[in-house]
């Protein structure tokens, strides 16, 4: 997990950076609000640990800007607030931060918060991958549907010359089905009609229908 640590006090920044690296995290740092915006876009951190009293923009303002910029993915923000600061500002609905920790920082509490966020980030990653897999499956089904529809339309075009002789209505419950009504007039002017219901659904059933219709019309 990559953590962006933000503090305008070099000593605090050094302590947090050393500690997080010892915990096995990758670390990038920033000293003011403008740097946070720039580094967030460039480095794509997984989590931001940020003091509220930084120059240029406060941690509250930066949190709001970050959340607005990174709408496509969730980046948790933990604010570091001074002892005695109004904690209601952090838990207020208008604050975009996800959690907070007070100064002086208790490193054991920080470690637990980081571990919790790490698990949530991992679950988010798994969820995103699952959504991508589902989207891929959906796209495959949609493509299959388009192919099957073309097949069925091809079959229906073979029957256009017989519409004046026989009227019928067939409609699949979804985009297509393995149902077929075929009509053809022989050279001796006899009408032949075939009703077919292929087992299965989708492209497989439609292809079988196509084979059956070719035999019928030949």
Query: Model-level pTM?
Result: 0.64
pLDDT score, position 10: 92
57-86 in b/e burial notation, b at 16+ Cβ within 10 A? bbbbebbbbbeeeeeeeebbbbbbbeeeee
Distance CA 26, CA 197 (A): 61
pLDDT score, position 188: 86
Q: How far is CA 64 from the centre of its chain?
A: 22
Q: Would you say 7 and 54 are in contact if contact means Cβ atoms under 8 Å apart?
A: yes
Q: How many residues does the chain have?
A: 218
Q: Would you say 46 and 29 are in contact if contact means Cβ atoms under 8 Å apart?
A: no
The pLDDT tens digits of the residues spanning 139-159 come to: 887 787 777 667 666 665 655
Residues of the chain with pLDDT under 50: none
């Amino acid at each position: 997990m990559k953590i962006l640590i933000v503090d305008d006090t070099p000593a605090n920044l050094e302590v947090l950076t050393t500690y997080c690296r010892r915990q096995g995290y990758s670390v990038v740092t920033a000293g003011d609000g403008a740097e946070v915006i720039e580094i967030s876009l460039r480095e794509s951190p997984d989590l931001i640990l940020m003091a509220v009293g930084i120059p240029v923009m406060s941690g509250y303002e930066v949190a709001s800007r970050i959340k607005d910029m990174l709408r496509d993915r969730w980046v948790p923000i933990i604010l570091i607030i001074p002892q005695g600061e109004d904690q209601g500002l952090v838990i207020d609905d208008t604050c975009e931060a996800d959690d907070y920790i007070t100064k002086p920082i208790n490193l054991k509490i920080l470690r637990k918060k980081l571990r919790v966020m790490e698990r949530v980030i991992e679950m988010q990653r798994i969820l995103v991958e699952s959504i991508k897999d589902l989207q891929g499956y959906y796209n495959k089904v949609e493509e299959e549907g388009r192919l099957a529809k073309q097949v069925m339309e091809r079959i229906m075009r073979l029957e256009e010359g017989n519409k004046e002789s026989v009227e019928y209505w067939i409609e699949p419950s979804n985009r297509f089905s393995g149902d077929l009504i075929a009509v053809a007039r022989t050279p001796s002017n006899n009408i032949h009609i075939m009703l077919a219901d292929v087992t299965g659904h989708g492209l497989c059933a439609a292809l079988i229908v196509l084979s059956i219709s070719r035999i019928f019309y030949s």
